[in-house]
Amino acid sequence: MAVSDVMIKSTGSYVPEKILTNKDLEKIVETSDEWIRTMTGISTRRIAAESEATSDLAYRSGELALKNGGIGPEELDLIIVATITPDMFFPSTACIVQDRLKAKNAVAMDVNAACSGYIFSLVVGSTFLKTETYKNALIIGAEKLTAITDWQDRNTCVLFGDGAGAALLVPSDGSGKLLAFDLGSDGGYGDMLYIPGGGSRNPATQQTVEDRLHYIKMNGHPLFKIAVNKMRETFKRSLKKAGLKPEDISVLITHQANMRIIDSLRSYLKVPEEKVFVNIEKYGNTSAASIAIAFHEACESGFIKRGDIVGLAAFGGGLTWGSAIIEY
């Protein structure tokens, strides 16, 4: 018989030590602390050291999640790393993390769904557990976005930071479960948020480097509107599947991309501010790591407690979007 419910047993996160402030950015590009805070809600972001790769951040967060969950790496069955900044094309970042953890019995794979990657990984991992293919899964959202940030582009360089967050999924003991989820994609909008250089279509050459094609390109204004609408729609569908109403949500955690997007979803759902966990001011947009880091910090601080109904929603490049309702 298949497992009926899957729960998050434990979490972990890691952010680099170096802090880049808005004042620091004023010295790099034409911008201001006031403009960044007003338009995005970001005050600081973390910057990985040159010697730190995405796998290093992922490893640190995953190690903590396993420690908090009380299981050894050799007991681990599945590792999923959500990232758009892999250490290299292959092997996968998940395989590198598997080796670092010494999780020799675990299957390892990457998921590329940009900022929605953590929710995609949560669903993929839960599905494997529900079919009893595996008995546990470590899901990690990890990014070194500063490695693909164009520090000459003032519209994007103020947004991004580095970090990682993880969660250990196990069959539910009755104290928690994944109640519902909704995922979506639309490749027709792919050129609104992408990196044009480096892949098989535009392999790395001196010209692609000179043209700065290996950095994030974003069409911000239309993307903002699409993000707001898609996050509203996906969250409504998850609520309907769970048989819940917005007022049933104990805690709302959205992708930490822009404070105005977070406020828009909160206002649309009529969720009180005190139920919304926000840490964008400290870390900026960390893509797939965003919700993962926030979830861990919310648990550690007591913002989320066992039995709470937690709503997650994200939107990212691809375009992708997703939401999940969890009884924690």
Q: Is residue 115 located within the same domain as residue 219?
A: no
Domain assignment of residue 277, yes or no: yes
Give the count of alpha carbons within 13 A of 123, CB side only: 20
Domain assignment of residue 20, yes or no: yes
Domain assignment of residue 320, yes or no: yes
Domain assignment of residue 1, yes or no: no
Which of 144, 173, 202 is where one domain is finished?
173
What pTM did the predictor assign?
0.97
CATH number at residue 182: 3.40.47.10
H/E stretch holding 193: strand 193-194
Domain assignment of residue 232, yes or no: yes
Domain assignment of residue 165, yes or no: yes
Which of 173, 196, 221 is where one domain is finished?
173
Q: Is residue 12 located within the same domain as residue 144?
A: yes
Q: Is residue 138 located within the same domain as residue 225?
A: no
Decide if 172 contacts 112 (C-beta within 8 A): no
What DSSP letter does each residue of 151-189 carry, written as one string? Answer: TT-TTTTTTB-EEEEEEEEEE--SS-EEEEEEEEE-GGG
Q: Is residue 123 located within the same domain as residue 147?
A: yes
Q: Is residue 162 located within the same domain as residue 188?
A: no
Q: Note down pLDDT in tens along the chain; length 328 residues.
A: 457 799 999 999 999 999 999 999 999 999 999 999 999 999 999 999 999 999 999 999 999 999 999 999 999 999 999 999 999 999 999 999 999 999 999 999 999 999 999 999 999 999 999 999 999 999 999 999 999 999 999 999 999 999 999 999 999 998 899 999 999 999 999 999 999 999 999 999 999 999 999 999 999 889 999 999 999 999 999 999 999 999 999 999 999 999 999 999 999 999 999 999 999 999 999 999 999 999 999 999 999 999 999 999 999 999 999 999 999 9
Q: Is residue 111 located within the same domain as residue 183?
A: no
Q: Is residue 20 located within the same domain as residue 122?
A: yes
Decide if 183 contacts 120 (C-beta within 8 A): yes
Decide if 292 contacts 165 (C-beta within 8 A): yes
C-alpha–C-alpha distance, residues 230 and 236, integer Å: 10
Q: Is residue 199 located within the same domain as residue 136?
A: no
Lookup result for tokens 């995405």 = 54
Active-site residue numbers?
Answer: 115, 255, 285
Domain assignment of residue 93, yes or no: yes
Instruction: Write out the E strands in the chain.
Output: 6-14, 18-21, 44-47, 78-82, 107-111, 137-144, 162-171, 177-185, 193-194, 217-218, 251-254, 309-316, 320-327
H/E stretch holding 123: helix 117-130
Domain assignment of residue 183, yes or no: yes
Q: Is residue 188 located within the same domain as residue 164?
A: no
Q: Residues 6 or more apart from 243 whose CB is under 8 A from it?
A: none
Determine the 3-state secondary structure of 225 from DSSP.
helix
Tell me which DSSP letter residue 53 carries.
Answer: -
Determine the 3-state secondary structure of 108 from DSSP.
strand
Tally of domains in the chain: 2
Which of 156, 173, 190 is where one domain is finished?
173
Q: Is residue 19 located within the same domain as residue 94?
A: yes
Pick from 293, 280, 255, 288: which is nearest to 44 by CA? 280
- The residue range of the domain holding 121 is 6-173
C-alpha–C-alpha distance, residues 53 and 129, integer Å: 29
Determine the 3-state secondary structure of 75 from DSSP.
helix
Q: Is residue 193 located within the same domain as residue 223?
A: yes
C-alpha–C-alpha distance, residues 31 and 7, integer Å: 43
